[in-house]
Amino acid sequence: MTDTLCYLDGDYLPLAAARISPLDRGFLFGDGAYEVIPVYSRRPFRIGEHLARLQYTLDGIRLPNPHTAAEWRERVERIVAAAPFADQSVYLQVTRGADDKRDHAFPPGVPPTVFIFTAPLTTTPDSVRAAGVAAVTALDNRWLRCDLKVVALLANVLARQHAVDQGCAETILLRDGFMIEGAASNIFVVKDGVLLAPPKDHRMLPGITYDVVLELAAGHGVPHQVREIPEAELRAADEVWMTSSTKEVLAITTLDGRPVGGGVPGPLAQRMHGWYQRFKDEVMRRG
């Protein structure tokens, strides 16, 4: 992995050779934005949407975008082409750069730090997909701009570790009695054949996979509602799914130690997984 090519501030170099300043504001303050883009057969999936969300985050943290969308694509394509694996997860990050001192306020005239690297896409083993995964709940103690994909992820890190400590795959975050999202995923609920999704607002990350799932639901005539989901509805759900660029659509079959629905992936989760795979294949074939 460490000899794969990465991009850092204008240079292409082996990942192991990349160096940044300890005064970088990403390191000191978590002052930056990032994206994770899945790549199938060396083709980035929904890169336009990922780059639009990056722009949204950069606008939200008042950091000028150092590159046009075309420049981003060109850099990502070069990293993807050089990797020795075809299915990848591309990570890109922009921070507010390294000043010569530590001061919270924005440093004038400091160029941003731009970093891109790729890793093999880790897919969910069939046995795990067939059984579904376990999740726990926790109170959401993050800030009120969870719609921004920023590198300051400590609350998400602690929430995810809370799941791992209990042998679970994800922590579902609850705020003011409502289900918000997972530590690193969006969450869907199915009740009586209706797919429910929480609304995209400042409390959750507007997932690219979330959008694909809702498009597929609409396209296949699945009844669905985008609205607040009270905790009680989460606990009474027939199905609960987590979605993300790397997990795709994954059924949660145990919540806080109790089975979700029948305790196995539900019928709609299985159909959505199939539609998602077909959709991906079609998009990748079209290019």
Beta-bridged to residue 13, according to DSSP, are 6
Q: How many whole angstroms separate alpha carbon 172 and alpha carbon 168?
A: 11
* Cα separation, 158 vs 136, whole angstroms: 13
Residue nearer to ligand PDD on the CB measure, 243 or 253: 243
Q: Residue 151 Cβ, how far from ligand PDD at the closest point, in Å?
A: 10
For 2-14, give one letter per residue: b (16+ CB within 10 A) or e: eebbbbbeeeeee
Residue 276 Cβ vs ligand PDD, minimum distance, rounded to whole Å: 11
For ligand PDD, the closer CB: 200 or 235: 200
- Backbone phi, psi, residue 76, to 5°: -60, -45
- The least CB distance from residue 192 to ligand PDD, in Å, is 25
Would you tell me which residues interact with ligand PDD (CB under 6 A)?
A: 36, 156, 181, 184-186, 205, 207-210, 243-246
Give the N- to C-terminal CA distance of the chain in Å, as an integer. Answer: 27
- To ligand PDD, the closest distance from the beta carbon of 82 in angstroms equals 22
State the helix-helix crossing angle for 208-219 and 267-286, rounded to 10 degrees: 100
Distance CA 33, CA 150 (A): 4
Strands (E) across 183-231 are located at: 186-191, 194-197, 224-226
Q: Which residues, listed in sequence order, are joined to residue 165 by a DSSP beta bridge?
A: none
For the record, the structure tokens of 279 come out as 């959709």
Of 98 and 242, the one with the shorter C-beta distance to ligand PDD is 242
Of residues 101, 149, 200, 280, which has the active-site annotation?
149
Least distance from ligand PDD to the Cβ atom of residue 200, Å? 11
Full strand arrangement of the beta sheet holding 32-40: 11-14, 5-8, 113-120, 88-95, 32-40, 43-44
Q: Are 115 and 5 in contact (CB under 8 A)?
A: no
Nearer to ligand PDD, 33 or 63 (CB): 33
Q: Smaller CB distance to ligand PDD: residue 65 or 209?
A: 209
Decide if 101 is catalytic: no
Which sequence positions are flagged as catalytic?
149
